[in-house]
Amino acid sequence: MAPPRTYRCESIILSYTPLDEADLLVTMYTRDRGKVRAIGKGARRATSKLMGHLEPLTVVQMSMANGRSMDIISQAEVLQSFSELKGDLDGISKGLYLAELVDGFGAEDSPNPNLYQLMIDTLTVLQADTESDMPLRFFEFHLLQVSGLMPELYHCVECRIELEPDAHRFSPNVGGTLCLECNPEDAHLRPLSLRALKVLRLLDRSGIAAASKLTMDDSLASELKSLLSTTVSYWLGKEIRSNSFLERLHKDSLPEVYK
């Protein structure tokens, strides 16, 4: 039996690119199909029923038609717009950072409902508090988890002994924490404070609502940001473009004495 020519899917828009005179090439992440690239015919025309429905960070119920080389968006119904998030520069910048990560880690024709829900949950928390960076750290950590790349935090990944306080390091490319005795060949070693290890373990045990309420001093926050972004970039295989814009926003928000 031939597969159906049309289907429906719940998706979140990650990005779009203008195509031809009036079309859009839309990249979305769907709950049941993973990453999908599809064409919105005439979506850039003011009279199009798709106008305004395909903006990044919009949750949409899609009606799709199978095309020869790429599927076609026939209808779109907005389920959640995250309009307050998009109206805030910090908020939309952080949201687009998440979208870039989902685009990089999500695979076409390979559904990962946990990744989809992680994206929705993180955007929801960010919309309520656009100033906090903890939702980003939670997302980065659990992005690794739902992608099968969860770092080891309780034992040495090399010799498997249980870690002792302040006797550990971290390596993104060997899969997590190491004791002081183990030095795997080609391991990218970096220090890991006991405080940072405790926060990582807390992220492992907590939901996003509880984790987002955690407060840290600048030194600890900087260490976690560096460690998680380095690990995510390593597995992504490239630098994260939107991260540089977040860095500029952070610098611009600092008092002049700290710049």
Average pLDDT score, the chain? 90
The reply to whether 6-81 and 84-258 are identical in fold is no
Q: How open is the CA angle 136-87-101, to the nearest 5 degrees?
A: 30
Q: Which CATH superfamily is domain 6-81 in?
A: Nucleic acid-binding proteins (2.40.50.140)
pLDDT of residue 164: 92
pLDDT tens-place string over residues 71-119: 999 999 999 999 999 999 999 999 999 999 999 999 998 999 999 999 9
| Structure confidence at residue 246 as a pLDDT band (50, 70, 90) | low
Show me where the domains of the chain are located: 6-81, 84-258
Q: Output the six-digit token pair for 38.
A: 């599809």
pTM confidence score: 0.90
User: Does CATH number 3.40.50.1980 belong to domain 84-258?
Assistant: no
Give the mean pLDDT of 243-251. Answer: 61
Question: Residue 36 region, left (φ>0) first, then alpha (ψ -120 to 50), else beta?
Answer: beta
Question: Residue 42 region, left (φ>0) first, then alpha (ψ -120 to 50), else beta?
Answer: left
Block residue for tokens 């309420």: 213
| Structure confidence at residue 51 as a pLDDT band (50, 70, 90) | confident
Task: Report how far residue 75's alpha carbon sits from residue 65's, in angstroms, rounded to the nearest whole number.
Answer: 10
| Structure confidence at residue 245 as a pLDDT band (50, 70, 90) | low
